[in-house]
Amino acid sequence: MSALSDRVSQFSRQHSLWKADTRVVAAVSGGSDSVALAFLLRDLAARGGPVLAAIAHLNHHIRGAEADADAAFVKTLAERIDVPFVAGDADVPADASRDGMSLELAGRHARQRFYAEAIASVGAASVSVAHTRDDQAETVLLRLTRGAGTAGLGGMAPRRGHVVRPLLEVTRAHLQDFLRALGESWREDATNLDRAIPRNLIRHEVMPRLRSINAQADAALSRTADILRADAEFLETLANAAFLRIVETSTEHEKVTVNAVELARLPKALARRVARYALETVNPSRSYGLEEADELCRVASGGTGGKLPGLAMERLGAAVVLTSREHRAHPVLPAVDPFELRLNVPGTVEAPHGAWAVTAEGPMPVSRTGDPKKGSSPRDTVVGDRSVIVDASDLGSHLIVRARRPGDRLQPLGAPGRKKVQDVLVDRKVPRDDRDRVPIVTNKDGRIVWVAGEVLADPFRVTPLTKSVVVLTLRRQ
């Protein structure tokens, strides 16, 4: 195994990107980074690493004949190294025009759809993309110019949902040297030279200037991203706990009551996050940012008035009450009757509409090897689509299984921050009519543990410090 393969393998172990039998799709554009990724994954697979299930290429139809040539190049590459090829097509210019967005954003959306389809087509667990340390440095600078906070300046995470990034500590130059040593070529995308594109301007003009100050500027920016991403994850955890303590929601989530005194006492970093969660809970159809969060904090600290898009905000005694104007104007009736069931540990509950049952087994002590059911350590947190192993320390004697509620959020396994359950279900392609029937499993304090059958919450994952576990299983009736 090459020194570069060793580095990628070590990084992947450090961030738990895969295990020996994980089926991984390599997203290959034809550029040097992604071509090198394909060969590195092939090397790792040959030495007991993840299974390279396929090479996937999406034709964005932005560059005409050049894009077609890229697709043909990647298909030939897949054939040469004897790996299945998954091709996709997306008219990104048409998508951008139709939806009124940039080509970059439309392309990102198209890739995410294609990745999910590619994974499903070959029964893989994840798609591996070739973002490098260079890309990470550029991302941090781009987000800095836009005024991002710690979450944004944390850059790209090694894992985000089904996307893994095993090359984040490798430079583009190292990958090109690796390909030259193999005698392999790659495709050059002429649009990467267009300085009208902000990322290219940073790549070709800003980064060279920064390297004249610090030759290791790329590494320094990447290290900063790692530090800020960890800080953001910690702050999100604290903010979630504070939200549960000081924010009350009505049954239909048309009204949210914030304890103004307690919000005003929080450190600003936590108060802003709690305020944003409260705003998006009462009006999940919108995303709220720094200005709106600060406006809520100002009113909570004794300010008067306050205007927020889509919301009415009123100070009543020691509370700030938020009401959704959109809910009042357009009341939404639930698709199914709401339910809230107590799930004893161990125990089983069944859906009121008879569509599923959720079972909790445990708690079971763990040691460091083998099967958790035999008093040993689980190899994986996610056992399958219908079963997960979770750390029992924050579960208590029972859990709650309920219907989803507007504004529900969790931190998905491996993700750096919180995400709306609504967005999780959309990403997982759960049909609209079925989303209100997906059971949400929470601990007794209301923190979401598992969107059953879809995604586990990261704070409840099994770690080397786990002493006991609970196995949760969803059974479709």
Tens place of pLDDT per residue across the chain (477 aa) = 588 999 999 999 998 898 888 899 999 999 999 999 999 999 999 988 899 999 999 999 888 899 999 999 999 999 999 999 999 999 888 888 887 878 888 888 889 889 988 988 998 988 999 999 999 999 999 999 988 888 889 999 998 878 899 999 999 999 999 999 999 999 998 888 888 889 999 999 999 999 999 999 999 999 999 999 989 888 888 888 888 889 987 655 578 899 999 999 999 999 999 999 888 888 876 778 889 999 999 999 987 767 788 888 888 889 999 987 764 444 444 444 567 888 999 989 888 767 888 999 988 887 544 445 444 333 345 555 578 899 998 888 899 999 887 778 888 887 766 788 888 887 777 877 778 888 999 988 788 999 998 899 988 988 878 888 999 999 886
Name the CATH topology of 3-223.
Rossmann fold (3.40.50)
The pairing of strands 340-344 and 356-365 is unpaired
| DSSP structure class, residue 191 | G
- The Cα–Cα gap between 378 and 382 comes to 10
**pTM score:** 0.71
**Token digits of residue 246:** 């000081």
The distance from CA 58 to its chain's CA centroid, rounded to whole angstroms, is 21
Query: In 3-state terms, what secondary structure has residue 410?
Result: strand
CATH code of the domain occupying 340-476: 3.50.40.10
Query: Any idea which residue has 């390297």 for tokens?
Result: 211
CB-CB contact of 76 with 48 (8 Å)? no
- The Cα–Cα gap between 372 and 374 comes to 5
Query: In 3-state terms, what secondary structure has residue 184?
Result: coil
**Structural domain boundaries of the chain?**
3-223, 250-329, 340-476
Taking the alpha carbons at both ends of the chain, their separation in whole angstroms is 48
Please list, in sequence order, all residues whose beta carbon lies within 8 angstroms of the beta carbon of residue 345, skipping any fewer than 6 positions away.
Answer: 360, 362, 363, 392, 395, 396, 397, 398, 399, 470
